[in-house]
Amino acid sequence: MLRKEKNKSYRILVFVIGVIASVTVLSPIIWIILTSFKDVKEIYTVPLTIWPRKFVWTNYLTVVEGLPEFPTYFFNSIKVTIGTLLLVLPASAAAGYALGRREFPGKAIINLFIIAILAIPFLVFLIPLYIIEDILNMLDTNIGLILPYAALNLPLGILVMQASYREIPSELEDSARIDGANAFQTWFQIMTPLVITGLAAVTIFTFVAVWEEYMFARTFMVNTSAQTLAVGLPSLRVESKSWAYGTLSAALTLSLLPISVVFIVLRKYFVEGVLRGSVKG
């Protein structure tokens, strides 16, 4: 009886801590979303109101119609993020399978090299990559961001996928070989469908990292038409080149939509994929 009471008290404590942590983390985002639906008069009303007295769409119309650069920045981010994922996901899956299921000379060195890359701050690569891209005339191009982003996010993806493939029983791979499947068929048709959780985790990590990255995009994208949302958003100005809080909140809310959609779609795979990559990897 005493043990049950302790377990109940423990669950209540964990729940309370979780609620407090969630409110602390989400409160700024909720505030931004609610502010985006307020008119200018209510935003500057004292005392401040949390819930809008009347929901208005004026701020969103200002962003979409009054700021012609915003759609450009938004779709640049979409193209760069999707392009990066198209490189990172198959490369992570292939390398993770090789490192997780195969034994070959130099495997330990490759793993150490991958971990060493993760330990180096990404900004160390900024100047060398800029020089290379300047020589190759890749500045102000989508591929000029996609390739560095893919290279920098690939090591983490490989570690997550490597741990995911290790969890699959070897009997499945042996059965595929007995049935006549070649190496590619075994990897792509038999093994990869079983590591959806790992792919989901890599997708979310990479999407968020690329979508909100600032320094590389700011350095490599000089022309306004090539900039991503992370760089372009602070430069948008209205009302005599100063931000209106309502318009800013609407722009920030729109910028959060793609990340929110990706997370909602992949949420049921996310936790398991993270645990595989971080605990068992």
Please tell me the distance from the alpha carbon of residue 219 to that of residue 128, in angstroms, as a whole number: 12
Distant-in-sequence, close-in-space partners of 245: CB < 8 Å, separation ≥ 6: 35, 43
Q: What is the mean pLDDT of residues 216-236?
A: 84
Longest CA span, the chain: 74
**pLDDT surpasses 60 at 273:** no
Q: Which domains does the chain have, with CATH numbers?
A: 67-242+255-278 (1.10.3720.10)
The neighbour count for residue 137, using CB atoms within 10 Å, is 9
**Cβ atoms of residues 249 and 36 within 8 Å:** yes
**Cβ atoms of residues 29 and 256 within 8 Å:** yes
φ and ψ of 242, to 5 deg: -135, 150
Question: In this predicted model, what pLDDT tens digit does every residue of 118-139 receive, in sequence order?
Answer: 888 888 899 999 999 999 999 9
CA 122-126-130 angle, 5° bins: 150
Please tell me the distance from the alpha carbon of residue 165 to that of residue 151, in angstroms, as a whole number: 21
Cis previous bond, 68, omega within 30: no
Closest CA relative to residue 92, chosen from 187, 27, 2, 12: 187
The reported pLDDT for the residue numbered 86 is 96
Sign of CA dihedral 66, 67, 72, 77: negative
**Cβ atoms of residues 180 and 194 within 8 Å:** no
Please tell me the distance from the alpha carbon of residue 153 to that of residue 206, in angstroms, as a whole number: 6
SS3 46: coil
Question: In this predicted model, what pLDDT tens digit does every residue of 149-169 receive, in sequence order?
Answer: 999 999 999 999 998 898 888
Split at pLDDT 50, 70, 90, the class of 279 is very low
Lowest-confidence region among 61-65, 79-83, 142-146: 61-65
Q: How many residues appear in the chain? A: 281
Whole-number percent of the chain with pLDDT over 90: 27
Eight-state DSSP code of residue 238: B
Closest CA relative to residue 148, chosen from 124, 162, 129, 161: 129
